Amino acid sequence: MRASNAFALFSAREGCCNAILEALACGLPVVATDVGDNSWFIRNDINGYIVPVDDLSASSRALEQVVRKLPWKKSDIAQSLPVGDWGDVALKVDDFMRRKLAGTRAGVSDARC
């Protein structure tokens, strides 16, 4: 994904799409359909565009907008995620695991995140 300029996914059904989150974390503008959690993460003209399902005209226009706006600022897109970029996620996971290991060593058993 790092070698790409943009990411597009025109699915009819989604939940929380990992591919879209990965693309955003890599700093790619995303064009995706308004299904599942896509509109929660994608903000028009900030980190991509949301389009209606099966709307070829809107999809084409959104892709044209992405290309016209190249180059996008990858760091801004990555930071638009509520969890931050991959570095932020790695630090959070590392911190979580260290706290869990410390709790286990101290005899504390807490399986909650």
Taking only the tens place, the pLDDT of each residue in 38-80 is 999 999 999 999 999 999 999 999 999 999 999 999 999 988 8
pLDDT digits (tens, 9 = 90+) for 3-51: 899 999 999 999 888 899 999 989 999 999 999 999 999 999 999 999 9
Which carries the bigger pLDDT value, residue 106 or residue 66? 66
99 and 50 share a domain? no
The CATH number linked to 71 is: 3.40.50.2000
Contact criterion met (CB below 8 Å) for 38 and 62: no
40 and 95 share a domain? no
48 phi/psi in degrees, rounded to 5: 150, -155
Query: 109 is in which domain, residue-wise?
Result: 85-113
Let me know if residue 1 belongs to a domain.
Answer: no
The Cβ of residue 33 has, within 10 Å, a number of other Cβ atoms equal to 24
At 106, the pLDDT band (50, 70, 90 cuts) reads low
What average pLDDT is seen over the chain?
87
| Distance of alpha carbon 46 from alpha carbon 25, whole angstroms | 14
105 and 74 share a domain? no
Helix residue ranges per DSSP H, the chain: 18-25, 38-41, 56-68, 74-79, 86-105
| Distance of alpha carbon 32 from alpha carbon 26, whole angstroms | 16
**Strand partners of residue 33:** 51
55 and 73 share a domain? yes
At 84, the pLDDT band (50, 70, 90 cuts) reads low
